[in-house]
Amino acid sequence: MPFDQAFKISSILLAIIAFSGLVFAQSVPFWIAIPTAIILIVTLCDAGGIALVRRAMAQVTVSPTIWNVLLIGAFVIFLIDLTAVSQDLLPAGIHFLVMLLGIKLLTLQQRCDYRHLYAISLMAILASAALTTDAWYLPIFLLYLLGAVWTLLLYHLTQETTEASAVITPTSMAAGHATFLGRITQRFFWLTNGIAVMTVGLTLAIFFVIPRIGAGVLQKTHGEALRTTGFSDRVDLGTIGSVKQDPQIVMRVELPDQPTVAKDRLHLRGLAYDQYNGRSWSHSGTRRRSLSLVAEGVFLARPAGSRLPDSLSVPIRQDILLETLDTPVLFAAPFAELVSGDFLAVQIDGMSGLHLPLSPSSRARYSVTSQVPQLVAGDQAAMVLAYPDSIRSRYLQVPVESQQVADLAHRVVQQVSTPFRQTLAIQQHLLDNYRYSLEADTATLNHPLDEFLFVRKTGYCEHYATAMVMMLRTIGIPARLVTGFLATEWNEFGGYFTVRQRDAHAWVEVYFPQSGWITMDPTPSVSAAAGTSRWESIRRFGESFRLQWDRLFVRYSGKDQLAVVHEVREGSDALRERVSSWISALSAPIGHVLTRLARMSRIVQPGVLECITGVVVVGLALLLLMLRDRIGLWASMHLSIAPSQHAIVQLYARMLRTLEKKGLSKLPAVTAAEFARQVERKWGAAGPVVADVTALYHQGRFSRVPLLPKELSRAAEQVGRLQSLLRATH
Amino acid sequence: MSSVHTIRAIQDNIELVIKGKTHVIEMAVVCLLARGHLLLEDVPGVGKTTLAHSLARSLDCSFKRIQFTSDLLPSDIVGVSMFNRQKQGFEFIPGPIFANVVLADEINRTTPKTQSSLLEAMSEAQISVDNQTHPLEQPFMVIATQNPAEYHGTFPLPESQLDRFLMRLSIGYPSLEEERKVLDRPHSLHPAEALEAVLTAHEVLALQARVDRVHMEESLTDYLLAIVQATRQSELLSLGVSTRGALALSKAAKALAVVRGRDYCLPDDIKELAPIVLSHRVMLNRTHGMRTQSFEQAERMVLDIVETVSVPV
């Protein structure tokens, strides 16, 4: 493909990528998006050389006045949008930006139009960064970088080509030159993509290295919190059923210290309830106390010094990413020992439920180390268990009208001797004789439990759990109802449980004097075993990718950075020294700038990601601009599109351009040496420089021996010197 | 001694005799290195003969001078077969052409028949007499002089013969300052006779071989051909440059590159040489009011044409 065409196509593709970024961010209403998309497709077809479109486009010529009128129209729309429709600068600005994009695409003629297009694309991609924290931004951004690298390179190369050909004025030697004024060769293709990959690498490096200004200014500030049920002071029987179909993700739970097996189910405990009035559950002791802070962000859930009754308990560490919920409850496997997270305070209620002081306004990430109590042998075998009074008074309460339930319970356990076996018998009874169904809507019934146990015999977790608690209590075994989530969906790609709304669950905790509260679940397992089909695993892979995106980019904070630095420091002594010296060398000035920036950011509230993205993209663009000569030099030296002489010819052409600005232009029939003498006469200061470049040009252009890289860079230096000479004279 | 220094040495040597004509001397050396023949055309008394003489003197080669007159016969130049009684057979007595440097003085004073006897010698570097071919010694260079001012009793050289000269040079009057230096010199001795040879025949051959190795980049060949094309298409000329002319320009350009110490050609070489290498090979268009073809006119025409051809970048 010739450079010219490739350049046009890549420019338009860049615009398309930026535009799709905005569309994905759902910030472009359809009345702008559809025309713009049509314009994009048409211009792309035009640039792609589709004859039909090309002919049609060639026939449409519109005078500049109309474009100006259109521009003014777009601005008027923007003003109306700003004042009446969106009434906000960001959406109105984006609408205006998209309109500008459309207008600019239709008027792509000169090179400055293309530069405007790039500016608009850059703003669009920055705007979409400001609007989203979702993972789809990553591919868009990577595509944008790739497109940007291609476009900048092609822009540069086509510029060189047009300028060089203007100097050559090909007559009879046109055929000889047309060959090196480029096409996209395979080598060029891979090299450009290589540069793009390097750019991405550089961006990532900068992203991870540049100190954070603050964490998560934009973390999901818009969008509603997920509505949950079952985690308030009172739970009506049958409410959980309403969310059992909802696949929304509530949290993701990683088990970092566990072996990767046995990831079938994990109970994530929310709140426990001890009082049942026949229709709903509630707490009796709602008094909460704050957990003691043992380190910054680390809370000790167990009163200091106390020990669990037995050492049989198994510690489980969970790293939990909790979506924004409308409840301040923190979920964890029973029973939390240590909670660490970016919280000011964590509270615990009388039944080991963890609470935040307020519902979190954004996603929360926290780790919990839990000790899962195991039933000790003594409790298992004991014929009679002696319960403390505090337990007896609280966890044996039954509503008055439950005689029928008590009869059932006694019937079930009459053959069974020990309390533990009785518990198991009741659980088994419920598992065997009742059918799981989400259709049992009992919320409106007066006696939902009786209905479940004796009439419908179908229900779901709340019914099962409530039934078990009630039956246990009627035979004198303390028990309570627990709500939370039952994690069953193991994501093998990311190594974590995905927990959804529909995993909301209720189960039972049974008290044993030596072991403590033991989790029992009378609900038959209904998890339709997350599919193993390929589609399912792709979906799970995408899920885990989103988690990584969130972890690595959206929520990548100064703390994570420090953690990385710590790891690096621990890794190697040499590296540690270097890193620490860098940090100490950089931290003072950067910190100074950053505190100032942070102060500013508090006023205008820019996000972290888009700040950094913006800085990186702009910086790269500037870098490319500054390294134009070097890149051109490098490209012409290394790309197969040009013979080795091309580099010096380009430099010479650049020198001619520079001299033209001084009013010294070379006529086509004037040879380089003659021109050098002319320059010497008219602009003595530049004489030696021009003579040197001319000599190098002669040698590089016409001799058999190509110039050494050293000589080429000397020529480049000389041209640079000439440019600064020119600047000095202005 | 490097080639640059060797060449510099000849030029310096000749400049001892001919003052202030650096460019002409350089071109004469170019002609020598390009294995070409030189036509010096100028009014009498500006140093044509002296130039030829001192060039010959600077080389450690044989040098013969032939004064062309109207009664000069071809055999006076190439030699003659004579019957040798002792050997009882014809014996070839070589003429003055059998030398490394031959000065054909006032070449237009002799008849075309005699002039054309030089043709074979100049183009093939050999002489055929009585079905016998006698190769000429290398290096071989003819330096011819002619006087454009006189027309009486002259026979202008035919185009075919002009084409065989690599370049036509005019020396021109020296500047006042230079002329004064000439006058200040002692006249007793012909200065060219005092010169010492600085270059052997072998060294000249080596330099000529070096010229063949000079690199002419593709675009320069195109440039050269573009110039040649332009002379053929120009309205100012009725006869353009032949292929031999193009070849001559290419050779001369390469030789100039060697003289200037390069092993590759530049556009400047071609551009600089075009007038002196091409101007005697073209014919001016008479409809443009130019009755007679003068040296300067032709050179100016070629120069004008060269200025219309773009230089490769």
Under 8 Å CB-to-CB from A313, ≥6 apart: which residues?
A: A371, A372, A373, A374
Q: Check if A704 contacts B (Cβ < 8 Å).
A: yes
Rg of chain A (C-alpha set): 36
* Residue B261 contacts A, CB cutoff 8 Å: no
A54: left (phi over 0), alpha (psi -120 to 50) or beta: alpha
- Show Cβ contacts of residue A404 under 8 Å, excluding neighbours closer than 6 positions: A450, A453, A454
What residues in B contact A173, CB-CB < 8 Å?
219, 222-223, 226, 312
**CB of A178 less than 8 A from some CB of B:** no
A275-276 and A329-330 beta bridge pairing: unpaired
Q: How far is B303 from chain A (nearest CA, A)?
A: 11
* Residue A686 to chain B, least CA–CA distance (Å): 20
Which among B207, B228, B263 is the end of a domain? B207
Measured between CA atoms, the residue of chain B closest to residue A667 is B310
For residue A632, give the nearest of A6, A116, A154 by alpha carbon: A154
**Over residues A436-452, mean pLDDT:** 73
What average pLDDT does range A75-83 have in this prediction?
83
User: What residues have CB less than 8 Å from B26, skipping those under 6 apart?
Assistant: B11, B259
Q: How far is CA A488 from CA A437, A534, B296, in A?
A: 18, 19, 103
Query: With an 8 Å Cβ cutoff, is B303 touching chain A?
Result: no
Domain hosting residue B272, numbered range: 214-306
Contact at CB, B311 and A671, closer than 8 angstroms? yes
Burial tier of A52 (Cβ tally within 10 Å: 0-12, 13-18, 19+)? exposed
pLDDT given at position A225:
62
- The DSSP call for residue A278 is S
Question: Which of A172, A645, A667, A678 would best serve as a mutation to test chain B binding (most B beta carbons within 10 A)?
Answer: A172
Q: Domain count of chain B?
A: 2
Inspect the interface and report whether the beta carbons of B219 and A176 lie closer than 8 Å.
yes
* Residue A145 CA neighbour count, 13 Å, CB half: 24
Work out the mean pLDDT of chain A and round it to a whole number. 77
Q: Which residues of A touch B223 (CB under 8 A)?
A: 173
Check whether A170 has a pLDDT greater than 50: no
What ranges make up the beta strands (E) of chain B? 38-41, 59-60, 63-67, 79-84, 89-94, 101-105, 126-129, 132-135, 141-146, 167-169, 199-200, 237-239, 283-284
Give residue-wise pLDDT tens across range B171-191: 888 888 878 877 776 664 456
Residues B284, B72: Cα–Cα separation, whole Å: 31
Range of weakest confidence among A605-619, A631-645, B287-301: A631-645
Tell me, yes or no, whether B45 lies in a domain.
yes
My answer on whether B34 and B52 are in the same domain is: yes
Contacts of A20 (CB under 8 A, 6+ apart): A140
Does residue A216 register a pLDDT over 60?
no
Instruction: Out of B191, B207, B223, pick the residue that ends a domain.
Output: B207
Identify whether residues B27 and B171 lie together within a single domain: yes
Which pLDDT belongs to residue A215? 43
The H-assigned helical ranges of A493-627 are: 534-549, 558-571, 573-604, 608-626
- Comparing A591 with B60, the larger pLDDT belongs to B60
Lowest-confidence region among A407-411, A511-515, A573-577: A573-577
Asked if B145 contacts B104 with a C-beta cutoff of 8 angstroms, the reply is yes
CA atoms within 13 A on the CB side of A648: 27
We report the CATH number of the domain holding residue B232 as 1.10.8.80
Q: CA-nearest residue of chain A to B219?
A: A173
Exposed e or buried b for every residue in A93-131, given b needs 16+ CB within 10 A?
Answer: bbbbbbbbbbbbbbbbeeeeebebbbebbbbbbbbbbbb
Tell me, yes or no, whether B250 and B186 share the same domain.
no
Distance, CA of B81 to CA of B99 (rounded, Å): 18
User: For the segment A256-290, what is each residue's pLDDT rounded down to a tens digit?
Assistant: 776 644 567 788 888 888 888 877 888 876 678 88
* Residue B213 near chain A (CB below 8 Å): no
Spatial neighbors of A496 by CB under 8 A, at least 6 apart, are: A252, A253, A254, A255, A319, A490, A544, A547
Kindly determine whether residue A173 and residue B262, on different chains, have CB atoms separated by under 8 Å: no
Q: Taking every pair of C-alpha atoms in chain B, what is the biggest distance, in angstroms?
A: 69
> Domain for residue B311, yes or no?
no
Residue B1 has pLDDT above 70, yes or no: no
B223 and A CB contact within 8 Å: yes
Other CB atoms within 10 Å distance of the CB of residue A454: 12
Same-domain check for residues B143 and B188: yes
The Cα angle at residue B113 between residues B109 and B114, in degrees rounded to 5: 55
* A·B CB contacts under 8 A: 67
* Euclidean distance between CA atoms B257 and B207, whole angstroms: 12
User: What whole-number distance in Å separates Cα of residue B39 and Cα of residue B165?
Assistant: 6
Q: Which residues pair with A485 in a beta bridge?
A: A268, A504
A673 touches chain B (CB under 8 A): yes
In this structure, are B124 and B195 located in the same domain? Answer: yes
Does the beta-carbon distance from A171 to B225 stay under 8 Å? no
pLDDT for the residue numbered A365: 82
Nearest residue, CB atoms, B225 vs list A172, A649, A652: A172
Q: Which residue of B has its CA nearest to A163?
A: B313
What is the sign, positive or negative, of the torsion defined by CA atoms of B24, B30, B35, B36? negative
Q: Where are the domains of chain A?
A: 1-218+607-642, 558-606, 644-730
Asked if residue B151 and residue B38 are part of one domain, the reply reads yes
pLDDT at A383 over 50: yes
Q: Does A69 touch chain B (CB under 8 A)?
A: no
Asked if residue B223 and residue B200 are part of one domain, the reply reads no
Estimate the share of chain B in helix, then strand, then coil, as percent rounded to the nearest 5.
Answer: 50, 15, 35
Q: Are residues B75 and B195 in the same domain?
A: yes
Residues B50 and B122 in one domain: yes
Least confident of A571-575, B34-38, B43-47: A571-575
Indicate the SS3 state at residue A369.
Answer: strand
Q: What is the largest CA-CA distance in chain A?
A: 120
Residue A692 pLDDT > 60? yes
Instruction: Say which range, A92-96, A175-179, A243-247, A625-629, has the weakest mean pLDDT.
Output: A175-179
Write out pLDDT tens, residues A291-334.
Answer: 888 777 788 876 544 445 555 566 788 888 888 788 888 888 88
Query: Minimal Cα distance from B225: which residue of A?
Result: A172
| Residue A633, H or E segment | helix A628-638
Tell me if A169 and B312 make a contact (CB, 8 A cut-off).
no
Q: How far is B250 from chain A (nearest CA, A)?
A: 14
- Chain A residues close to B271, C-beta within 8 Å: 671, 674
Which of A60-74, A226-240, A244-258 is least confident? A226-240
Q: How confident is the model at residue B250 (pLDDT cuts 50, 70, 90)?
A: very high
| Structural domain contains residue B294 | yes
Q: Hey, are the CB atoms on A171 and B310 less than 8 Å from each other?
A: yes
- Are B263 and A670 an interchain contact pair (Cβ–Cβ within 8 Å)? no
**Helix or strand or coil: residue B143?**
strand
Taking each continuous run of H as one helix and of E as one strand, the counts in chain B are 12, 13
| Closest partner CB to A703 (pick from B264, B308, B310) | B264
Q: Which tens digit of pLDDT belongs to each residue from A120-132? A: 888 888 888 777 7
Whether B146 and B254 map to the same domain: the answer is no
* Residue partners of A508: CB distance under 8 A and separation at least 6: A465, A468, A469, A472, A479, A480, A481, A482, A519, A520, A521, A522
**Residue A721 and residue A728: Cα distance in Å, rounded?**
10
Q: Do A674 and B218 touch (CB under 8 A)?
A: no
Supply the ipTM of this predicted assembly: 0.84
- Out of A164, A177, A674, name the one closest to residue B268 (CB): A674
Q: Cβ(A352)–Cβ(A303) under 8 Å?
A: no
CB of A677 within 8 Å of a chain B CB? The answer is: no
Out of A172, A670, A704, closest to residue B222 by CB: A172
Lowest mean pLDDT, pick from A264-273, A488-497, A555-564, B176-185? A555-564
Q: Which amino acid is at A458?
A: T
Q: Which of B147, B175, B207 is the last residue of a domain?
A: B207
Residue A182 token pair = 């480029």
Residue A642 contacts B where some CB pair is shorter than 8 Å: no
Residue B273 has pLDDT above 70, yes or no: yes
- Same domain, residue pair B256 and B177: no
Distance from the A673 Cα atom to the nearest Cα atom in chain B, whole angstroms: 7
Pick the most confident of A408-412, A570-574, A665-669, B251-255. Answer: B251-255
Residue B65 β-bridge partners: B103
Q: Are A708 and A209 in contact (CB under 8 A)?
A: no
Q: Do A674 and B217 touch (CB under 8 A)?
A: no
pLDDT for res A171:
40
B312 within a domain of the structure (yes/no): no
Please indicate, yes or no, whether residues B163 and B300 belong to a single structural domain of this protein: no
How far is it, in rounded angstroms, from Cα B131 to Cα A518?
130
Measured between beta carbons, which residues in chain A are less than 8 angstroms from residue B264? 699, 702-704
Q: Report d(CA B275, CA B277) in Å as an integer.
A: 6
CATH code for the domain in which residue B121 is found: 3.40.50.300
Which amino acid, one-letter code, is at A89? L
Q: What distance lies between CA A51 and its chain's CA centroid?
A: 41
Among the partner-chain residues A171, A653, A674, the one whose CB lies closest to the CB of B313 is: A653
